[in-house]
Structure 1
Amino acid sequence: MSLHAQLSPQAQARLAAQQRMSTITSLIIALLLMVLVGLILWIIAMNLPSKNIPQLVSYNGTPESEENLKQKKVQTKIERKPAAPSASMSKVIAANTSSPTAIPIPEIDVPDPSTDFGDGNDFGDGWGDGDGSGAGGGFGNIPTAMKKRCSKADRLQRLTSNGGTEKCEDAVVASLRWLKEKQNKDGSWTNRSVPMTGLALLAYLGHCETAGSEEFGDTVLAAITFLVDKSMKNNGKLADDFKAKSWCYEHAIAVYALAEAYTLCVKSFGENINQLEDAVMASGQFLINSQHSNGGWAYSYVEEGGHTDTSIVGWQLQALKACKYTGLDFANLRNCVKKGLDYMETKQAPSGAFGYSSPSIREDGTTLAAVGALCFQIWESSANRQARKAVKFMHENMKLDWNTKHSDLYGHYYAAQAMINNGGKEWEKYNELFRDQVLNNQNKDGSYKSVQAGHGLNGGGGFSEHYRSCLATLMLESYYRFLPGTGQKN
């Protein structure tokens, strides 16, 4: 007899049915799991960030005047973060080939800078070797002389402690908004695009507006991009027309603006504006290499013969000071500046005024006295003998009346800086002279009324209106744009 029980036919049928059901259930579960895994992978894939590969920009190595180059609209879309002037960064990519194309600005994020001040050393008066960099992040990387421009509280403190008012700050912002509305599509201003873009950019930077600024970032970035593009297309040279002898002014103003943009945007706030460093190096080194044999700079940048004067030299020495703040390695910078100051010293009259191309003064002498004073202050100190003599002359002779010939804002652009650098009774008198004249002659739209002085400053609209508005804005920014060049650290 068998010890194993045998299933009945009915039981065997039920067992087979259960096995089929288990197999079907397993298949359904496996299929559902596969669908679920596929769905999860699809969701992950859809949320992965896509990489935008920036287009390559080509620059022509020949001067722009030799061929007509089409300039497409500069794209300046940057993600804004309102915490600080530099909330984002942008990129300009270039190569030395002959196909001119538009400059794409890819959207790139950078971390918000800290608002803590670092322990950086001042740039230094005289021939100090420091570059003004701090060790900390955020404002700590700004050269000490520039720090007070980058906080509204600091700007107001500088204003109120030096005879300014909140109206000065309001006037600056109104002017910057007016400039924003007047900017050309390619990032420039007026038909004198290089120098007027340089002056406008300096006005924005004087208020610590960088490419990452919330309200003015697009404007600043477009201006920088325009000047970088000009520099790269022309082997470092910056001008609208290289056949015009006075392009030495245009080049120096633009170098000043680009170098200061590098110091604030790139060095201080970490905004990655590629090719800006290359443009600053090329254009700044060209300026150094183009110094005249007599220590000045000449029309058309000729190095022998030609005409040199203190007005030309004033812009070159300002531009070189901005180059030194960058901390970049410019060949022969120190010797170049020394020769420039030696040249200026030969043009100073016994009265303290500076002449144009000799010690003989022109008109009332105050405009070029202001040029000379500022040059010696920024490279030596406010206690420098030549600077003190020039300030004394200005203190005794300078006038400002918007409705008379005593309205040369070119001279007062220099004077406002030189007088606050000097301080004391000279600054107190000058502050009373210039502050309300500037405030009371601003139009409701933020621009400035025409003056009676010539020099391209009178007249309505276009170049003249832009020129005097930039100079007036820079004058009002003198309260905080740079700390006095006397060794003062606060």
Structure 2
Amino acid sequence: MRLLLTLGLVFALAAPASAAPPRELMDEAIDRGLIHLRNQQGTDGSWPGGGFGMMGFGGAGDPAISSLAVMAFLSAGHVPGEGKHGAAVEKGIKYVMGQQQRDGLFAAGGGGNAEMYCHGICTLMLAEAAGMTDGKLADELRKRLEAAVTCVLAGQRNVNSPDNGGWRYHLKGFDADLSVTGWQLMALRGARNLGCDVPADRIKRAVDYIKRCQDPFSGGFRYTVSAPVTIPCTGTAILGMELCGKEYHRAPELLRAGKLILSSNLNPAQQHFFYGIYYTSQGMFQLGGNEWKAYRPKLHDLLLRQNGPRADGSWQSGGGHDDRQQGSSYCTAMAILALTVEYRYLPIYQRFEEPIEKDAIDP
């Protein structure tokens, strides 16, 4: 079941030097990127990766990166079993479902620091795919989603420390970080959209953890409560809180964080570039208002000009070791997911649309 949404998108006005590229250029880049992803898909329905699912380096199928690839197709309106990409999407979904363990956890291969990254990303994909299809596949997705959500809730930290309410690399433990927490919150929001039971007190504890990660001086957010501020984590925090309820929409601490993102200089040579562009695009889109209008041309400049798709349609790392390690399927999927946020096909890309009385920045 497609979510047929009225796009009605208005381009932000900016000086010629920073004006967003024409819509046709963005659409063409996304289409070419999806063709690249389809060509990279393995015969088992997977996409290669380098670590989120800990299935090895050098081309082995990765459940988490496969989930990101599936969501890239979904985010552009391609649903399983329909249209030119329908077969690839359905095959990818079935591959990921086949990686779920009996206890509901997605963490193929185990070990390392990827367990809950993999699980959160795969759980989010189940929720998004279930919201965009129907029939037997949707029923199976919902069944597996329920089991996956149980694992997410089991992994939330319940400790007498500043890490209470967050998540970390492994299902069991005592510490937490904002990066892993962001994926779990998106997964829970996606599941709640489908009617899964997500207790309100769990969301409140997660929000409190995010707030403890904010730096009082810069307004940015830290990777952990005692780590330095990073722009990717600042985007994660904005998105996480925005998804947790209307009461957090355009909260003062989030508007302040948005100003920091707008004043930052994300560039393709940085570590975690594609991770950062994924989270900052969604966070700023959820903020909306003039924050999104100011951010949108920067996003398009980064992904369509400074580090645009290659001749084969892929996006590649401009220098960050982590992006090179994960490979072109990861980079391409993350770029597409950042660009398609305004298409609003993915259920997680819906946002609040209440009138805004006062913007945090000048028009």
Normalising by structure 2, we get a TM-score of 0.82
> Which of 203, 207, 210 pairs up with 1:337?
203
Relative to structure 1, is the Cα distance of residues 421 and 176 closer, same or farther in structure 2, using a 3 angstrom cutoff? same
**157-166 or 204-213, larger mean C-alpha shift:** 157-166
Find out whether 1:471 has 2:334 as its counterpart: yes
What are the residue-to-residue correspondences of 1:325-474 with 2, within 5 Å?
Answer: 325-328=193-196, 330=197, 332-350=198-216, 351-362=218-229, 365-380=230-245, 381-396=248-263, 398-402=264-268, 404-405=269-270, 408-440=273-305, 441-454=308-321, 456-458=322-324, 463-474=326-337
Give unmatched runs, 5+ long, in structure 2.
Answer: 14-19, 49-59, 159-163, 356-363
Report if aligned partners of 2:309, 2:316 keep a CA contact under 8 Å in 1.
Answer: yes
CA displacement at 1:475 relative to structure 2: 0.9
SS of 1:179's equivalent in the other structure is helix
**Which residue identity is paired with 2:102?**
N
Find out whether 1:295 has 2:162 as its counterpart: no
1:254 match? 122
Relative to structure 1, is the Cα distance of residues 429 and 160 closer, same or farther in structure 2, using a 3 angstrom cutoff? closer
Report if aligned partners of 2:316, 2:327 keep a CA contact under 8 Å in 1.
Answer: no
1:177 match? 35
Report if aligned partners of 1:348, 1:359 keep a CA contact under 8 Å in 2.
Answer: no
Number of residue pairs matched by the alignment: 324
Deviation string, structure 1 residues 12-59 (Cα, Å, up to 9, x no partner): xxxxxxxxxxxxxxxxxxxxxxxxxxxxxxxxxxxxxxxxxxxxxxxx
2:51 match? none
Q: Distance in 2 between matches of 1:442 and 1:429?
A: 23
Relative to structure 1, is the Cα distance of residues 355 and 161 closer, same or farther in structure 2, using a 3 angstrom cutoff? closer
Report if aligned partners of 1:310, 1:344 keep a CA contact under 8 Å in 2.
Answer: yes
**Which residue identity is paired with 2:47?**
W
> Which of 189, 195, 212 pairs up with 1:321?
189
1:77 match? none
1:210 match? 79
**Which residue identity is paired with 2:284?**
M
CA displacement at 1:208 relative to structure 2: 2.1
C-alpha RMSD of matched pairs (Å): 2.3
SS of 1:265's equivalent in the other structure is coil
**Which residue identity is paired with 1:169?**
D
CA displacement at 1:263 relative to structure 2: 0.9
SS of 2:221's equivalent in the other structure is coil
Q: Distance in 2 between matches of 1:309 and 1:338?
A: 16
Find out whether 1:280 has 2:145 as its counterpart: yes
CA displacement at 1:313 relative to structure 2: 0.4
SS of 2:98's equivalent in the other structure is helix
Relative to structure 1, is the Cα distance of residues 333 and 416 closer, same or farther in structure 2, using a 3 angstrom cutoff? same
**Which structure is higher in RCO with an 8 Å CA cutoff and minimum separation 6?**
2
**Which residue identity is paired with 1:336?**
R
Report if aligned partners of 2:38, 2:88 keep a CA contact under 8 Å in 1.
Answer: yes
Normalising by structure 1, we get a TM-score of 0.62
**Which residue identity is paired with 1:393?**
L
Relative to structure 1, is the Cα distance of residues 395 and 327 closer, same or farther in structure 2, using a 3 angstrom cutoff? same
Report if aligned partners of 2:272, 2:323 keep a CA contact under 8 Å in 1.
Answer: no
> Which of 57, 68, 73 pairs up with 1:199?
68
Report if aligned partners of 1:382, 1:388 keep a CA contact under 8 Å in 2.
Answer: no
CA displacement at 1:444 relative to structure 2: 2.1
SS of 1:243's equivalent in the other structure is coil
CA displacement at 1:443 relative to structure 2: 1.1
Deviation string, structure 1 residues 224-250 (Cα, Å, up to 9, x no partner): 11122222x432111222223321100
CA displacement at 1:425 relative to structure 2: 3.6
Report if aligned partners of 2:12, 2:297 keep a CA contact under 8 Å in 1.
Answer: no
Relative to structure 1, is the Cα distance of residues 171 and 333 closer, same or farther in structure 2, using a 3 angstrom cutoff? farther
SS of 1:256's equivalent in the other structure is helix
Report if aligned partners of 1:211, 1:271 keep a CA contact under 8 Å in 2.
Answer: no
CA displacement at 1:359 relative to structure 2: 4.8
1:28 match? none
SS of 1:485's equivalent in the other structure is coil
Report if aligned partners of 1:203, 1:473 keep a CA contact under 8 Å in 2.
Answer: yes
**Which residue identity is paired with 2:215?**
A
**202-211 or 240-249, larger mean C-alpha shift:** 240-249
Report if aligned partners of 1:354, 1:360 keep a CA contact under 8 Å in 2.
Answer: no
